[in-house]
Amino acid sequence: MKSVITGIGRYIPTVVKTNSDFALHKFYDEHQEAIPLRPEVIAKKFETITGIEERRYATADLNCSDMATIAAEDAIRDVNCDRETIDQIIVAHNFGDVIKHTIQTDMIPSIASRVKHSLGIKNPNCVAYDLIFGCPGWLQGLIQAHAFIQAGMAKKCLVIGAEALSRVLDQHDRDSMIFSDGAGATILEQQDSDSGILSFSAQSHCEDEVTYLNLGKSNFPESDPRIRYVKMKGRKVYEYAIKNVPVAMKDCLDKAGVSIRDVKKIFIHQANEKLDEAIVRELFKLYDIQEMPEHLMPMNIHKLGNSSVATIPTLLSMVKREEMNGYKITAGDIVLFASVGAGMNINAVCYQV
């Protein structure tokens, strides 16, 4: 019996924020000193480095749990399943619900419990819980759901990644331009099939790496130091990811007995265009291959930004529905999922469509 993705859904917020919208921001560095460049120059350099042209923010009336519910409904419709037969609802996020214009996270009750309530699921044996694992959270939720299925503890799991990062950003920090909002959801079911999860790999590095992403005070000199915002040591994250993610991806393929040449698509967390391309190049170098194939790595970061746990399921949904020119997946294809984020955590899943 395999763990098979039978349904997939998403919610892409409607508020578009372009790089030019940051021209009115005043940017400061981590030492709270003004950056001696015009905001529009900073935004242009940012686009060159990350590939991000615009990102999506949730409207004021929507929160993380709302977006998660919309994505879940989309996934349920996609497979046309009876929601009362769902055994597990796993919601990956980082900050819970954060009401716009506040900075306080709200996770009581859990986001998964709120989603179950909003979906109208009455079955008490449908267990709902949250997963905090940084940006790799949705993929880790998929791994956990797979483990439950393989252990005979579940037959159908709803795995969601949702985040409203726009609510916890420091507008005076250049890194704030990376992040965005969104939600993606998948139904993972036990099936007698050739398709399904073939292998996985996951690691946590929690020594010096533990503070590479954290909550910290604003870069603005006159800010209230008691108010915390999401912070990232960009260079440290880049170096960590380049070193560790390709190794985890290769470990995952080796466990599945799959050659890198048989992988049709790589769905990697949409963190930074240059970083993602470098990770995949390093993966191929581990196999002594210098050039990677074309149309291997779909990317939507240019228009959607980095929505953390939502990036991979959103991207998978777009490719499955053939909404990305030049990219599609067909039955029998081997695909590789991979992610990296706060913790620092990394993971990978090898999957046959």
Catalytic positions, written as ranges? 135, 269, 306
Residues 23 and 18: their CA atoms lie apart, in Å, by: 10
Exposed, middle or buried by CB within 10 Å (0-12, 13-18, 19+), for 235?
exposed
Map tokens 């067909």 to a residue.
330
Structure tokens at 24: 């009115």
215, two tokens = 């909550």
- Residues 228 and 205: their CA atoms lie apart, in Å, by 23
Residue with tokens 């977006």, as numbered in its chain: 67
The whole-angstrom separation of Cα 81 and Cα 68 is 17
Distance CA 147, CA 150 (A): 5
What's the N-to-C CA distance of the chain in angstroms?
15
| 133 contacts 344 by C-beta, under 8 angstroms | no
Alpha-carbon distance 346 to 227, whole Å?
29
User: What are phi and psi for residue 196, nearest 5 degrees?
Assistant: 130, 180
Please name which of 155, 5, 159 lies closest in space to residue 85, comparing C-alpha atoms. 155
With 0-12 / 13-18 / 19 or more C-beta atoms within 10 angstroms meaning exposed / middle / buried, residue 52 is buried
